[in-house]
Amino acid sequence: MKAKSIHSRLLYALALATTLSTTFTSCQEDGRTDGYSTFDVPELLPLSSEQKDVINYLPKNIIIAHRGTEFWAPEESEAAMRWARNMGADYLECDLQKTKDGVILALHDESLLRTTDVEVVYPNRKNDYTSAFTYQELLKLDIGSWFNEANPEQARASFVGQDILTLEDVLAIAEGKRIKRDANGKRIIVTDAEGNYVRTEYEDDPFDNGNRPGVYIETKAPYLFSGMEEALAKCLTENGWYADNIADMKKVAYKNGQPGAVDIANTPARIIVQTFDGAGLANFRKAFKRLIPIVYLMYDMSGNPATYADKINFAIRTGATIMGPMIDYVDGYPSSLLPWQGDMIRRTGMHIHAWSFNTNEQYLKYTGPWCDPNKEGGEDKNYLDGAFTNLADMAIRFYNTELQQYADQGLNYFRSNSNLGIEDNIHKNKPVRDAREVLDELGY
């Protein structure tokens, strides 16, 4: 996701703040200055039967762990992904880059300067794109020290030396494994006869708590990595996470043979792909013979129903099943999920996965309580089927305490999962845990 890095001590304090007593109710204030009324609805295209079938197996009220976490551990590191899995996130979210030798990375930036020590290890190549390096060259970089320097209150000595993950690493972590390492903490890899990287070795994670999340993948603009969507489909197929026939996908093993509190990895919804790029959206349909959940990430600066409808219709024409609008969490960028915008998406039947949520106030604003001046309850007031967050711990706490408390009082805002035969509050069986304790238990 295109999100600012989070390095503020204030963030977590805000996230845990008690907000039920607040008088903020501006959810209903659409801020419309374009001459349209709430009842002006541009023409929206119908979904195909294939799109409807995909939407029908998607769970609602999900928590998407943005880069694992940006707050508690170095983003898109093994520590971040293992933390998100054990914390109880429904999906591990990652971005894709590709190395010179074709290895698919879980890494956000095209440049290595922000999150590695490339200027120390490769001073003459520090400004090169990630794609100019082989994976074995990248394994010499440290992606943990910068986090410790930027976030002294979350810093841990064990983050030093964290290495750049591959997509296969993220899939393995979602399956309850961890990277196999030698006595010095270096990952054990397999190479070919010429010494080229082939794969990483994994082992059962002794601290796996049984959760089996899905994996939520963002690709970048096609001009950066030609053929990325095809390479992604190939990787997922080889690892059993995708098959043209759903029944042919591998069964992800449970811990002790019993499902954990999260079990999305063993459903058809195990993989969701996302992009901001229109050409990339079309490429997904070419790369995957069977339609899978596809998200069109977007923000809308115009606040105009006609342009907003154009984005939705483009997504529908190219096979998307989910809209991924931005909320108002970055200065200078207005929310793209005002009530009239959410209502427009809802009319199509598409799901809404918005980004990014890091405070209780944000959740209250978009899940219903602050959009219900008459205190009637109802899922129609909830504009979130899924939300990206850097604080999966906060999100679980919100759903299991505040939103559940509303439901217990007769004001149910949860989106319904009745078609799947599962709880609307899919977090009900997840313990509300302390983030630091989970890192401690994982050995960090």
Render pLDDT for 218-241 as a digit per residue (tens, 0 to 9): 998 777 888 999 999 999 999 999
The predicted structure's pLDDT at residue 3? 45
Q: What angle do CA 304, 306, 308 make, to 5 degrees?
A: 70
Supply the DSSP symbol for 212.
B
pLDDT band at 330 (very low <50, low <70, confident <90, very high): confident
Q: How far apart are CA 136 and CA 105, in angstroms?
A: 12
Query: Bridge-partner residues for 300, per DSSP?
Result: none
Q: Token pair of 155, please?
A: 């810093």
Q: What letter represents residue 28's amino acid?
A: Q
Region for 271 from its dihedrals, namely left if φ exceeds 0, alpha if ψ lies in -120 to 50, beta otherwise: beta
Which pTM value belongs to this model?
Answer: 0.93
Predicted confidence (pLDDT) at residue 4 exceeds the cutoff of 50: no
- For 277-297, write each residue's pLDDT tens digit: 999 999 999 999 999 999 999
Q: What letter represents residue 85's amino acid?
A: R
Q: How far apart are CA 342 and CA 353, in angstroms?
A: 11
Q: How far apart are CA 108 and CA 339, in angstroms?
A: 30
Query: Bridge-partner residues for 52, per DSSP?
Result: none
DSSP per-residue letters across 298-348: E--SS--HHHHHHHHHHHHHTT--EEEEB-S-STT---S--HHHHHHHHHH
Q: What letter represents residue 260's amino acid?
A: G
- State which H helix or E strand residue 271 sits in: strand 271-275
- Helices 167-174 and 78-87: crossing angle, nearest 10°? 30
Q: How far apart are CA 343 and CA 352, in angstroms?
A: 10
| Residue pointed to by tokens 């703040």 | 17
Asked whether the beta carbons of 61 and 399 are under 8 A apart, the reply is yes
Q: What letter represents residue 231's amino acid?
A: A
Q: Pick from 45, 98, 56: which is nearest to 228 by CA? A: 98
% of the chain exceeding 90 in pLDDT: 86
- For 331-387, write each residue's pLDDT tens digit: 888 899 999 999 999 999 999 999 999 999 999 999 999 999 999 999 999 999 999
3-state secondary structure of 355: strand
Give 273 or 36, the one with higher predicted confidence.
Answer: 273
- For 235-264, write each residue's pLDDT tens digit: 999 999 999 999 999 999 999 999 999 999
Q: How far apart are CA 53 and CA 407, in angstroms?
A: 29
The predicted structure's pLDDT at residue 438? 98
The mean per-residue pLDDT over the stretch 394-403 comes to 98
Residue 8 CB contacts under 8 Å (≥ 6 apart), including other chains: none
Q: Token pair of 365, please?
A: 């604003």
Question: Which CA distances in Å does 246 have to 124, 165, 237, 435, 440?
Answer: 47, 27, 11, 35, 37
Q: Pick from 79, 115, 117, 122: which is nearest to 97 by CA? A: 115
Q: What angle do CA 152, 155, 161 make, to 5 degrees?
A: 130
Q: Pick from 231, 352, 226, 240: which is nearest to 293 by CA? A: 352
